[in-house]
A and B are shown apart, each in its own frame.
Chain A
Amino acid sequence: MAQGMVPGMVTGHGWLERTLRVWLPVGCFLVLALFPFYWMAITSIKPNAELYNKNLMPLLVRNPTLKHYVDLLTETSFLLWTWNTMLVAVVSTAISLVLGTMLAYPLARMRFAGAGLIAMTVAAVYLVPQPLLFLPLADVINRLDLGNTLTSVILTYPTMLVPFCAWLLLGYFKTVPKELEEAARIDGAGRLQTMRQIFLPLCIPGFISAGIFAFTLSQNEFLYALIFLTKSSVRTVPVGVIAELIRGDVFYWGQLMAGALLGSIPVALIYSFFVEHYVAGLTSGSVKG
């Protein structure tokens, strides 16, 4: 397997060997990665008569229908949940980028007592998983009387997103050359002015990386939304799908899969636009897995 890693050495081998060495393993990984999505898509367009008939070959559709999508959009609050999810994701991402920058900039550029301690704290907070905090947080949200409001999740998502953005941005900020800022300082610009007018515009790619990650993480969040949002009108897509499309022991698989697919599309779209930024952020080695 390791031989394939030396580009210059793979010469004169036949197509068969190349197929075995490249396309067989890559193909296997692709099939494994994509089959659940194929199954989602194909289930969502099968009529129930086909879906629950064990005598038909399950991997193909005979009479595709959009009935499940129509039902999903008309009989449930799916569109409202989508709107809630987007709103929460956009607002908490924005908050997290701003607060994350306010942490990362001094850590990346200034020298002050306690910087090391703060950097360690931010990293440690980033690694604290939600299940450690959700019970006390639930009580805090109750006492603030924020249950069943989108504010509850907009306030709590940044607890994981701020340290995350700060950490990712800190790495990016350190790669930006200092010369322009130094020139601005010599010309008499204040620190805030230098940061806002000279430094931050140079960091757009870093903000895009951090922003996409924060956005995907908020779309993925489930635990806080499950606990804080118990009314249908304020639910996000993951909680709505789990709480309302699975009704007792009766499963509406067509609708469920339509919902799962539609709920995945916004993230997949954003991801596909910025895939290079995403991979760059991922490989900077600071992402949860």
Chain B
Amino acid sequence: MSIRSDPLIGVVRPPHRAASLALWLDRESVFSWLMMTLPLLFLAAFVGYPFVYGILLSLQDRPVAQPGHFVGLKNFIADYHDPIFWRVAINTFVYTAVATLLKMVGGLGLALAMNQHFRMKNLVRAVLLLPFIVPTVLSTVAWMWMLDPAFSVVNRILIGLGWPRPGPSWLGNPILAMCSIIVINTWRGLPFYGITLLAGLQTVPPELYEAATIDGASGWQRFRYVTLPLLQPIILIVTLFSVIFTFADFQLVYVLTHGGPQNATQLFATYAFDIGMGAGQLGLGASVALTMLPALALLIVALTLYLRKQ
């Protein structure tokens, strides 16, 4: 419509200078770019510039509060020869893969359980989302207390059920510490998965199930051949989101274990923080953070293209 109205205005108004400026401003492209200038400048200054500057930093030897000098790929070579760095890489991949899988399976279970008729469903749905809403740091502190070496309520319940004293050392044992951060990440992210998939389930037309039932499909077959294929796009989007933000997770680990014991739960983000902020090696820290980039870029491009296609 707006295409048709443009020439009309041109015909009605005499071609004064002011009018032609107004006409120029009225063009879709001019209006759009003028409108977007401020937010784009903001993003360029606070995302674009730091991003490029981060790459430059990673190529410098740059102790905090001192001028840096260019060292080429020395930081990345140092990372390559750092055994902790490889530990961190393995940790991050294990953490991301296991937590995402648990969230996916658990979230699907939650969505299926919630996709039935029962009373107070909206209230239950609202309450179930609480772990996702509440600031991560605050709920993680609660988990820290639940897994406390001396007064863990989890252990006291386990001991009450007959587990030998003193119960597992959740945050002191390297493997259990990794399990703990995975469980807490799952606890927080599962409702998001569940409620999003529930919304997807509710768009599946009931006729499809009826048709499948008439054709003799069992409950499992209906799930496998009707529900899953229709949910696939939503599962894909949610999973990509979840992978990106689990891969780059910082808060949970920083609060719960600080990467310990013996770097057993150290992730890329917390390790970059320790080196950059703790040890004051901005350049080396930036290089650790940037090693996340290839995997992240792949995921981000995949998701962006997919969202665009939708």
Contacts and interface: CB of A to CB of B under 8 A. Distances in A.
A243 to B, nearest CB: 11
A283 B269 CA distance: 28
Interface size band for A: 35 or more
A80 B32 CA distance: 41
B142 A37 contact: yes
A115 interface: yes
A127 interface: yes
Interface in B101-126: 103, 109-110, 112-118, 122, 124-126
A73 interface: no
A260 B51 CA distance: 33
B116 A136 contact: no
A185 B189 CA distance: 45
A275 to B, nearest CB: 5
B124 A110 contact: no
A2 B219 contact: yes
A133 B54 contact: yes
A267 B133 contact: yes
Contact of A166 (B39, B122, B290): B39
A3 B113 CA distance: 11
Contacts of A69: none
A190 interface: yes
A29 B139 contact: no
B234 interface: yes
Contacts of A155: 46
A167 B25 CA distance: 25
A264 B136 CA distance: 10
A278 B195 CA distance: 11
A26 B54 contact: no
Given A5-B116, A22-B113, A190-B26, A131 B32 contact: no
B204 to A, nearest CB: 8
A272 B122 CA distance: 11
A33 B191 contact: yes
A8 B131 CA distance: 33
A127 B303 contact: yes
B232 interface: no
Interface in B51-86: 51, 53-54, 57
B139 A135 contact: no
Interface string A1-15: 111111111100000
Nearest to B128: A33
B173 to A, nearest CB: 19
Given A40-B142, A289-B192, A220 B135 contact: yes
Contacts of A113: 29
Contacts of B38: 99, 102
Interface string A264-289: 10011001100100110011011111
B146 A156 contact: no
B130 A133 contact: no
Interface in B192-208: 192-196, 199-201, 204, 206
Given A112-B28, A127-B304, A52 B138 contact: no
Interface residues of B, number: 119
Contact of B127 (A34, A124, A134, A251): A34
A36 B142 contact: yes
Interface in B280-310: 282, 285-286, 289-290, 292-293, 296, 299-301, 303-304, 307-308
Contacts of B219: 1-3
Contact of A2 (B28, B124, B222, B299): B222
A6 B210 contact: yes
B138 A289 contact: no
A123 B304 contact: yes
Contact of B118 (A26, A111, A118, A131): A26
A113 to B, nearest CB: 7
Residue of B131, B199, B242, B304 ringed by the most chain A CB atoms within 10 A: B304
Nearest to B3: A111
A237 interface: yes
B87 interface: no
Nearest to A163: B43
A158 B46 CA distance: 9
A223 interface: yes
Contact of B40 (A103, A242, A267): A103
A159 interface: yes
A198 interface: no
A191 B31 contact: yes
Nearest to B212: A6
A263 interface: yes
B53 A285 contact: no
Contacts of B200: 283
Contacts of A204: none
B248 A39 contact: no
A45 interface: no
A287 B241 contact: yes
Contact of B5 (A185, A216, A257): A185
Interface string A179-193: 000100110101110
A125 B47 contact: yes
A133 B234 contact: no
B34 to A, nearest CB: 9
Contacts of A7: 116-117, 206
A118 B194 CA distance: 31
Contact of A132 (B130, B143, B193, B289): B289
6 contacts: A4-B112, A26-B118, A110-B32, A129-B248, A132-B248, A133-B50
